[in-house]
Amino acid sequence: MSILFFSPSSARVIHELNLSLSVCFFVKVVRSLREPEFTGGSFLQVGDSCSAARDCGVGLYCGDCAAAGRTRPSCIRDLAIQPTTIVKGLPFNRYSWLVTHNSFSIVGEPSRTGVERVTFYNQEDTVTNQLRNGVRGLMLDMYDFGGDVWLCHSLQGQCYNFTAFEPAIDTLKEVEAFLSENPTEIVTIFIEDYVHAPMRLSKLFTAADLMKYWYPISEMPTSGQEWPTVTDMVAKNHRLLVFTSDASKESSEGIAYQWSYLLENESGDPGIDPSACPNRKESQPLNSRSASLFMQNYFPTIPVESEACKENSVGLPQMVQTCYAAAGNRIPNFIAVNFYMRSDGGGVFDVQDRINGLTLCGCNTIAACQAGAPAGACKNTGAPNRTTSSVNGNVYSGTVEFKTSASRASSTSTWSNLVISLSLALILKPF
């Protein structure tokens, strides 16, 4: 055994070194109580305080929602769970999909006309990014402009150089690239149609190389019948549904007239008043069974970025409940919103998960559904206010906003619990 001897000066140095190490350890312990240490893939979850996007897990970003009283940055969802990856092979009209209102009207989009743009904005990221984040429906306003078809956020049916965004083909090429890269995904386009030049729209989709994905009118169900399964649609490569607001285009260009196949509530301010859910004047009443698809609009007439987080977290669940009742206990197949990523945590993504879970498998979120299991056989998703699932191979953590009762076996009880769950959103806070 070796014995070491230290001089008084050496001992003093060692004592000071030990004291310094003790202080460093104490500081580290204190810091660990205040903030996480991101090692080994450990990331913050929805609602946890954050300081940068890298702090949060996959499918989350670091943001705030002052409108809902959350001024401290926290992790917020920006990625949808695609229901068809968990519950497969059902008719298209059984699922609920996320839609962006005026998908092309993007904050910060540079002018393509050389004139400063004067209009409202509704989204914050590119159409490509919207699709990658799980958006499956795009609302596009198309106009005749400069001898071509342009996307405009305009007025009185005419596009101006100060309301124009870009040639429509540019956005449609983004859609084509996404469909090419994702051979099992289905995208729906809703055209607010101000294009009057003959055959210009059909030529546009041909030029964008989208006709190979086109869902033909001849196979679209009428009179409220079920749609084909998503499996059949993918097998036939019928992965692009296109609807127009111009009834004449159905016979002249083979583009489906929207309100022959969809029911739709009023857009703008009337569509965000939770006391009623009126149908859009072009649509049949929401409780009609004349169509098998239902579009729920939820966005104010004048979009305000800073208010969207509260709208998507507080107002939307209320309005889904109201419209569910007005539509005769029918879920929305499409939920159209502004600034889709803004919320106080889960927002439209959690609402969509809740609807798909209750509808498709009788669970309180799609993340709890089990492929091939009977209705109500829900897997444990962890803590009561968390869901954990896999999105495109990445682990995703989200927040369950609504509480539901025990597992349900019948479709009737599933619909009843949908109403109960959405009602509880009025009084329960996710964090």
**Is residue 363 one of the residues assigned to a domain?**
yes
Among 97, 304, 323, CA closest to 188: 97
Q: How confident is the model at residue 42 (pLDDT cuts 50, 70, 90)?
A: low
Residue 338: per-residue pLDDT: 98
Number of structural domains, the chain?
1
Mean pLDDT of 231-238: 98
**Is residue 75 one of the residues assigned to a domain?**
no
Whole-angstrom Cα distance, residue 417 to residue 351? Answer: 14
Burial 76-92 (b: 16+ CB within 10 A, else e): bbbbbbbbbebbeebbb
Mean pLDDT of 25-38: 34
Q: Which residue has the higher pLDDT, 132 or 1?
A: 132
Q: How confident is the model at residue 425 (pLDDT cuts 50, 70, 90)?
A: very low
Q: Which residue has the higher pLDDT, 41 or 100?
A: 100
Mean pLDDT of 325-354: 97
Q: Does 389 have pLDDT greater than 80?
A: no
Mean pLDDT of 235-249: 98
Q: Does 50 have pLDDT greater than 50?
A: yes
Q: Does 20 have pLDDT greater than 80?
A: no
Residue 255: per-residue pLDDT: 98
The average confidence (pLDDT) of the chain is 83
Residue 380: per-residue pLDDT: 86
Please name every residue paired with 142 in a beta bridge, in sequence order, or none if there are none. 151, 193
Mean pLDDT of 14-39: 37
Residues 77/63, Cβ–Cβ less than 8 Å: no
Q: Which residue has the higher pLDDT, 375 or 181?
A: 181
Q: Does 429 have pLDDT greater than 80?
A: no
Residue 382: per-residue pLDDT: 59
Residue 372: per-residue pLDDT: 85
Q: Does 424 have pLDDT greater than 80?
A: no
Residues 178/185, Cβ–Cβ less than 8 Å: yes
Mean pLDDT of 177-203: 98
Q: Does 420 have pLDDT greater than 60?
A: no
**Is residue 160 one of the residues assigned to a domain?**
yes
Helix (H) or strand (E) holding 151: strand 148-152
pTM: 0.81
Mean pLDDT of 195-215: 98
Read off the pLDDT of residues 75-133 as tens digits, 9 standing for 90 and up.
999 999 999 999 999 999 999 999 999 999 999 999 999 999 999 999 999 999 999 99
Mean pLDDT of 33-38: 35
Record the tokens describing residue 213, joined without a space: 């994905």
**Is residue 406 one of the residues assigned to a domain?**
yes
Residue 38: per-residue pLDDT: 36
Mean pLDDT of 170-195: 98
Domain housing 218? 81-424
**Is residue 69 one of the residues assigned to a domain?**
no
Q: Which residue has the higher pLDDT, 319 or 427?
A: 319
Q: Does 1 have pLDDT greater than 80?
A: no
- Of the CA atoms within 13 Å of residue 386, those in its CB half-sphere come to 14
Burial 326-351 (b: 16+ CB within 10 A, else e): bbeebbbbbbbbbbbbbbbbbbbbbb
**Is residue 311 one of the residues assigned to a domain?**
yes
CATH number, domain with residue 281: 3.20.20.190
**Is residue 76 one of the residues assigned to a domain?**
no
Please name every residue paired with 194 in a beta bridge, in sequence order, or none if there are none. 143
Q: Does 411 have pLDDT greater than 90?
A: no
Residue 267: per-residue pLDDT: 97
Q: Which amino acid type is present at position 38?
A: F
Residues 193/249, Cβ–Cβ less than 8 Å: yes
Q: Does 268 have pLDDT greater than 50?
A: yes
